[in-house]
Amino acid sequence: MIISDKMKAVLVHYNQALSLYKSRKFAEAKEEFKKGLAIHPGDGPSKLYIERCDDYIADPPPEDWDGVYNMKTK
């Protein structure tokens, strides 16, 4: 499978953002996800993680957070 240069750029931002997210750097992660969305506005995973970053910025997870996101509504 061939990946376009555009998608490679999105993946660079996505992977950086995911690393920041897992390190609890939610504001920084959000900005990286947004950079990927600027390249590919239809990137669903980045949109989802931006929402999760917003949730964790407003209400940080506990210190023993294992990276799992617990949905608040069904």
Whole-number pLDDT of residue 74: 61
User: And the tokens for 44?
Assistant: 């669903």
The pTM of the full predicted model, rounded to 2 decimals, is: 0.89
Please list, residue by residue across 47-61, b when 16 or more beta carbons sit within 10 angstroms of its beta carbon and e when fewer do: eebbebbeebeeeeb
DSSP of 25-41, one letter per residue? Answer: -HHHHHHHHHHHHHH-T
Among 22, 23, 27, CA closest to 50? 27
pLDDT tens-digit profile of 32-69? 999 999 999 999 999 999 999 999 999 999 989 988 88
The burial class, CB within 10 Å (0-12 / 13-18 / 19+), for 72 is: exposed
Q: Between 18 and 69, name the one with better pLDDT.
A: 18
Q: Report, as an integer, the average pLDDT of 2-31.
A: 95
